[in-house]
Amino acid sequence: MLSVHTSPLDQPGTGDAGGMNVYIVELARQLADRGVVDIFTRATSGLLPSVVEMAPGIVVRHVFAGPLEGLTKAELPAQLCTFARGVLRAEAAYEPGYYDLIHSHYWLSGQVGALARDRWGCRSCTRCTRWRR
């Protein structure tokens, strides 16, 4: 799963954390019943470990892309290439075919999801892969 602009570890109601965080966590829980789920999200603090086990079968991977703090949603598109590189680099540590499904829910994540889907040759349930302004 890809979540560029919000972490599933953030408490809903704080900062930009809200309904999407709840949705991502609940979907990850459902998918974890079928296998391991990795959620890639942008690191927003240097204090966070690079990998966090959120729940059994659910791993959150913090990708360093852009400034850790003070980045607005409007500034996130400029960090997509760096985020995509981090996601692709993490996958390169595994055998080809390790990831067989990609999900993203917001258009920023959809941009990275479309790239990863094409690179990895896997299925996609990306909600939105068109660039929106």
Q: Which residues pair with 58 in a beta bridge?
A: 37, 55
| Dihedral angle computed from the Cα positions of residues 91, 81, 60 and 99, in that order, rounded to the nearest 10 degrees | -30
- The whole-number pLDDT of residue 36 equals 84
Going residue by residue through the chain, which has 133 residues, state the pLDDT in tens, using 9 for 90 and above.
Answer: 999 988 888 765 656 656 677 888 889 999 998 888 999 999 988 888 999 999 999 999 999 998 888 788 889 999 999 999 999 999 888 888 888 888 887 888 999 999 998 888 886 664 444 433 3
Residue 40's SS3 state is strand
Rg (CA), the chain: 14
Structural contact between residues 61 and 39, judged by C-beta atoms closer than 8 angstroms:
yes
Q: Which residues pair with 51 in a beta bridge?
A: 61
pTM of the entire predicted model = 0.85
Alpha helices in 12-128 (DSSP H): 19-32, 80-91, 107-120
